[in-house]
Each structure stands twice: as C-alpha cells, then as structure tokens.
Amino acid sequence: MMIKLTGGTVYDPAAGIDGKKQDIYIQDGRIVKKPAKDVPIDKEYDLKGKVVMSGAIDMHTHIGGGKGNIARTLLPEDHRHDPVARTECTRSGCGHAMPSTFVTGYRYAEMGYTAGFEPAVLPVNARQAHMEMGDIPILDKGGYVMLGSDDYLLRMLTAKKDQKAVNDYVAWTINAAKAIGVKVVNPGGINAFKFNQRKLDLDEQNSHYGVTPRQILQSLATAVKELGVSHPLHVHGCNLGVPGNMETTLNTIEGIGGLPMHLTHIQFHSYGTEGDFKFSSGAAQIAEAVNKHKNITIDVGQILFGQTVTASGDNMRQHANHKHANPNKWVTMDIECDAGCGVVPFKYRDQNFVNALQWAIGLETFLLVDDPWRIFLTTDHPNGAPFTSYPHLIRLLMDKSFRNDMLATLHPEAQKMTTLASIDREYTLNEIAIMTRAGAAKLIGLHDRGGLSPGNWADITVYTDNADREKMFEKPDYVFKDGDLVVRDGKVIATKWGTTHVVQPDFDPSVEKGLKDYFDRYLTMKLGNFKISDDEITEDGRGSITVHPLKGRA
C-alpha cells in the first residue's frame, strides 16, 4: 500500500530540512522515495498548512519497573480522578502522575510521541520492567540498565580489576537485561546508604568499599565508550536536590576527562547557596560548562507545578526528602545487592520559594545552552511533572511573553533570584524537532528513527500550526506509527505494538564463571534466571526486538 502525505511543511533536522514544503511517501511501514508515475497512490492526506515532524522520542521517562507499581499502589487516589479527561475514574486504566501502561501509550501517542525510554532498569528487575513496557501500546521502548551501586562492580573496583574485566561485566549485563544503554544513579551512593552513609560526594569514599563516585563514573564511562555503545553513560549525579550541588556537577563534568557523558535531570543538580534562603540558581554556570565541553549532553528534568510522585532508585536522597512527602506517605527500600528504591509523593507549589526557583532554573538551563542537539526536553517523568505536561513546557520555551507572565505570578523572592525575565531566546519549531526527535534518536543510537528520510520507519506526527504552541502540541491532527494511522484529531483510533530497542556488545563468555559463583553465594536469583531471552519479549506477538549497531562496527 502506497500512502502519500501531500504538501506539509516539514521540519526534519536529521536531514537538514527546516520548514520546507514537501511530499512524503510511505510503503510497508517505511518512508520511501517518490514512486514512479505508474505506481498508484492508495491513500492520500492533504497536509497543506500543516506542520510535519517525525514521531517524538522521550529519551528519559520512567515507564517501566518496580518503582512505578509501588507509586501506583501508594497513591490509589491518583487513579480515581483523571485530570486529563476531567472525569472520575473507577477503573485501573487511568492515573495522572503514574498512569497505567495502556494509558501511558495512549497519552504519549495523542501528543505525537512514538517512543519512550526507561532510564533505570535494575538488572535484577529487568524482566518486570520489560513486561511492563511490553504492555504499553503504540510506543517503541528501550531501557538503560542501572550499574554503579551493585556489589559485584564495587568489588571489582576495590580489587582493582583491569578495564577489560569491567567492560566484559558491563557488556554481559547489557545483554542479560536487554538494554540499549547504561545508567548510573548517585554512583556508589545507593550502596553507601546501606552502610549508614547519608551522603556521598564525588570524591568521598564508600565506607565499605573505599571506592569514590568519580572512580565509578570513569570506569563505567570508559566501558560504554570502549564497547561502542552509542548512548553515553547516563548519569544521575551525586547530591541531587542539595543546595550547592552545582559545584559537584561542575566537578563531574571536568573530572570525566573528555569521555562522553549524559547528565540527566540536570535541573536537580544546578543549585547554589546564595541569598537569604541559601538556595540559588546555578543554571548559568552549568550551561557555560555544557557549552564548553562538547562531550557532555544533558536533559533538564523541568519541574512544573502541581501534584506528582517522585520515584527513584536513589534511596539515599529519597530518604532525605521523605519529610516533604505530600500526601504524607512514602516508601524507601533496599533491593538485593544491586541498588534501592524510593517513592515520595510531592506537590510543587508556585508560591513556594524553592519550587518556584526550581521552575526558573530548569527554564534558564534550556535557554542558556546553545546547542539544541545536546539538550533534551524532559520532566524526568513523573519526578518533575507527568509527561502529559510537555505541551505546556514547549510553550514556555517558545513564547517569551507567556513565560514572563507565568514568572510574574510566582513567589516574589524567587523572581528576584532568577535572570529568566531578561532572557530573550525563544525556541523555534526546528529546535523543538531537534530536542524531541532528531537529537534524541542520534543520542540513543536509533539509526532509522527520528527523521523523515527514505528508509526510516514511518513514525510521523502532523500538527496544525498554532501561535498557542501548547494547543498545537497537545493535539496532533495525525500520528502514524510504522506507517499506520494511530491518532486522528488528538485521539487514538487504532493501536499496535512497538519494538524494543537494544544493543548487544561483545564480551568474553568466561565472565560467567565468576558471576555464577557470585550468584550462587550471594543472590536469591540464579544466573540462568537473571538473563532475559528474546522470546520473553516477543512470544505473545506484541512486540519485536531491534538490535542497533555499535559505534565503529558495521
């Protein structure tokens, strides 16, 4: 079947196209070149006056894993009222801060998203994470496997094992967990919490292993690079949410020694200690460092006001934050010898000084980082806000007067502590397409997504151009997933199942001998049960696995 999308205004940064009217042809799920005149067009869509982009990609969103289910269980009231549909909900298929799996897929698709990546797949819990993501319709998905506080790695670093041994362990774990990248959460800190350390700075030793977060980051960043994994080491740094933590972040950027590194939800790591409240913005200093160091990419983790739930592997910081829980209930837990988990409900308030300044810090960061290919639009769903708030965030970035009107309503002392009102920059449609499409695909290593060139899968979103960018991005006219129309006029009209994106770096099989001995002695799961087979992801017919090439390999 040949489909023609006629006359749309295309924004395809991957192909260098910035607002050009052109036709797009789809056949067998992929974008193809203009066919010969004798090839019939089976279906045509008139897109004159419409804006056409590839399907959006959320490169950091918590959509699979045990912490999401804990959050749903902890907050049954979140599933009684649906603020998006503005209805009372008596079924499980709803939720605002942490929607159910089906609703997650529907709401993402209804905003024009066709892929989402879970940034914290705990190896021992990877099977559950993939089962949950496999229950999300329409979206492609993938995960970054969590390392850095696992006992096995820390033992290796304590014993000063060579880098090749670390590489083999990292590669084996990526394969076992069916991941596309590697994530570090508070490097070594989750583990240090188990030994009663309540904080761990970049060069502070874990009291049990004598290993510092800097050593962990350097070892894992080196492994990711040498294995050829496209996505840089994905780093949730030390001291999240702590006033003054921008110094730790700046030291982390300098200390990685030029290795590729992605700093996630950097808004939470960009705080100074100036002013009467001893809390200030470090966004300008962080943005300057990011602009200077081309090996660094970031996503923002923007906070937006209202009720949400914070769900993180960083049990050290979540335990410290539990006193701010709203409503007043929370969970912090240990998980085997791997990591931990903390779930703390939270309500961000525009008249709270700290929350208001957090809001401004995130926007300052977006607007002060020069290169849209190295900064990505996230709220660290659900930690800063639910992903359904993305259209509102896009309007804040594209509309200075709207942004300043919002700023004028916030806590007056927070207004005094930000330079946001003086920043003139407004994002363009092309820059939004980079941040949410082409740049994200390039960062993760998706070789046939994020663009509209022939050969790419036909993930395509069509919008009506509207000066109110929030209205524009919250309701696409059409969304195509792998060439099939799944959304019309902002509503899902059909469902299908996306693929799971993975990489498969090589490793020395002998690594399993030491791992088997370790599993048998210390863990409740056997080595054979730890590894996920392809069939477990594909056997029910809901999905497939797409293996992406490694850097430097054919």
Q: With beta carbons less than 8 A apart as the criterion, state whether 500 and 134 touch.
A: yes
The domain ranges of the chain are 54-499, 500-547
Residue 522 has pLDDT above 60, yes or no: yes
Name the pairing type of β-strands 478-481 and 460-464.
antiparallel
Instruction: Give the percent of the chain with pLDDT over 90.
Output: 92
DSSP string, 166-199: HHHHHHHHHHHHT-SEEEEETTTHHHHHHTT---
Q: With beta carbons less than 8 A apart as the criterion, state whether 253 and 246 touch.
A: no
Q: Which of 286-300, 424-438, 530-544 has the lowest mean pLDDT?
A: 530-544
Q: With beta carbons less than 8 A apart as the criterion, state whether 5 and 444 touch.
A: no
Q: With beta carbons less than 8 A apart as the criterion, state whether 135 and 102 touch.
A: yes
For residue 554, what pLDDT is reported?
52
Name the pairing type of β-strands 87-88 and 460-464.
unpaired
pLDDT category at 109 given cuts 50, 70, 90 is very high
The CATH number of domain 54-499, selected from 3.90.550, 3.20.20, 1.10.3470, 1.10.20: 3.20.20
- pLDDT mean over 316-325: 95
For residue 494, what pLDDT is reported?
97
Mean pLDDT of the chain: 95
pLDDT digits (tens, 9 = 90+) for 83-101: 555 555 655 567 889 999 9
Give the global pTM: 0.96
- pLDDT mean over 234-250: 97
pLDDT digits (tens, 9 = 90+) for 38-83: 999 999 999 999 999 999 999 999 999 889 999 999 998 887 665 5
CA–CA–CA angle 548, 136, 45 (5° rounding)? 80
For residue 86, what pLDDT is reported?
55
- pLDDT mean over 453-474: 98
pLDDT digits (tens, 9 = 90+) for 223-234: 999 999 999 999
| Token pair belonging to 43 | 């279906």
- pLDDT mean over 129-158: 97
Q: With beta carbons less than 8 A apart as the criterion, state whether 370 and 453 touch.
A: no
Residue 235 has pLDDT above 60, yes or no: yes
* C-alpha 522, offset from chain centre: 32
Residue with tokens 């006992």: 151
- pLDDT mean over 305-330: 95
- pLDDT mean over 470-475: 98
For residue 58, what pLDDT is reported?
98
The values of phi and psi at residue 401, to 5°, are -65, -40
| Residue whose C-alpha is closest to residue 117's, from 166, 48, 78, 62 | 62
pLDDT digits (tens, 9 = 90+) for 476-492: 999 999 999 999 999 99
Cα radius of gyration rounded to whole Å, the chain: 23
- pLDDT mean over 255-264: 97
pLDDT category at 287 given cuts 50, 70, 90 is very high
Cα dihedral across residues 520, 521, 523, 524: positive or negative: positive
